[in-house]
């Protein structure tokens, strides 16, 4: 049994830890470990040890209680919408939102591009088509906010890439760690990440993971 709830609208506090798959925000003396997708990670890069706000949703199961956080309400709405499709759980929804930006996902579903969706791990052609059938008429109603937010994500990722130039090993370590947490084998992830970095040594962590999600 899985319960999805928005009992907590958002968490605002000091960003004490950040990886491509989770963030820790300390609020009122409590550190909240929050699962995130790549767009949120990109938006938070460089904001460590400063005040941060994430919109959250809670996923409650018999054996676990997880928080998923998003930089915008629109991204959270899209995440919850994906989870209404049969066979799509929280981790698969996060995988989709890490492979593509929110605006790209909306466009892919609205135009019926099942091929693009099926490139994400765990999404076969039938599941991809089910997402399109279930959400095509709903997804354009999702308000993703201003395009400035999307631009901010790209700028954050770009800045991180410049900062990481010449530190391929660190990018590889973070990318492989994130892919492993998403359920991929470490050995296979390492090989794919190596291949990506050989072709583009200055790629950001976000870009490496996005490409890897379509290659694994």
The pTM (predicted TM-score) of the whole model is 0.75
- Read off the pLDDT band of 166 (50, 70, 90): very low
In a domain, 13, yes or no: yes
Query: What's the pLDDT band for 201 if we cut at 50, 70, 90?
Result: confident
pLDDT value at residue 146? 52
In a domain, 21, yes or no: yes
42 domain-assigned:
yes
Which range has the top average pLDDT, 82-86, 145-149, 151-155?
82-86
Residue 169: predicted pLDDT: 77
Residue 185 lies in a domain: no
Per-residue confidence (pLDDT) for residue 2, from 0 to 100: 66
* Mean pLDDT on 102-128: 90
Q: Which residues contact 62 (CB under 8 A, 6 or more apart)?
A: 1
User: Nearest Cα to 180, choosing from 170, 193, 169?
Assistant: 193
Residue 122 forms part of a structural domain = no
Q: How many domains does the chain have?
A: 1
Domain span at 25: 2-70
CATH code for position 32: 2.40.50.140
Segment 55-69, tens digit of pLDDT: 999 998 878 889 999
Q: Residue 17 domain-assigned?
A: yes
On the question of pLDDT at 38 being above 60, the answer is: yes
pLDDT classification of 202: cutoffs 50, 70, 90? confident
Least confident of 99-108, 113-122, 131-140: 113-122
| pLDDT > 60? residue 150 | no
- The per-residue pLDDT of the chain, averaged, comes to 84
Residue 131 lies in a domain: no
Q: Does 100 map to a domain?
A: no
Whole-angstrom Cα distance, residue 204 to residue 184? 19
Task: Go through the chain and tell me how many residues it has.
Answer: 216
Q: Is 16 exposed, middle or buried (0-12, 13-18, 19+ CB in 10 A)?
A: middle
């Amino acid at each position: 049994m899985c319960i999805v709830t928005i009992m907590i609208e958002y968490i605002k506090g000091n960003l004490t830890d950040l990886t491509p798959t989770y963030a820790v925000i300390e609020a009122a003396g409590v550190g909240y470990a929050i699962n995130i997708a790549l767009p949120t990670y990109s938006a938070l890069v460089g904001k460590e040890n400063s005040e941060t706000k994430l919109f959250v949703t809670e996923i409650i199961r018999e054996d676990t209680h997880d928080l998923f956080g998003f930089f915008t309400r629109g991204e959270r709405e899209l995440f919850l919408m994906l989870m209404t499709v049969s066979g799509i759980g929280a981790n698969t929804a996060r995988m989709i939102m890490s492979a593509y930006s929110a605006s790209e996902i909306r466009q892919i579903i609205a135009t019926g591009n099942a091929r693009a969706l099926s490139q994400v791990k765990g999404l076969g052609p039938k599941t991809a088509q089910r997402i399109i059938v279930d959400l095509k008429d709903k997804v354009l109603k999702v308000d993703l906010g201003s395009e400035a937010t999307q631009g901010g994500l790209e700028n954050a990722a770009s800045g991180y890439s410049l900062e990481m130039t010449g530190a391929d090993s660190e990018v590889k370590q973070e990318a492989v760690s994130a892919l492993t947490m998403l359920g991929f084998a470490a050995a296979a992830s390492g090989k794919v990440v190596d291949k990506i970095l050989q072709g583009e040594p200055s790629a950001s962590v976000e870009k490496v993971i996005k490409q890897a999600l379509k290659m694994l």
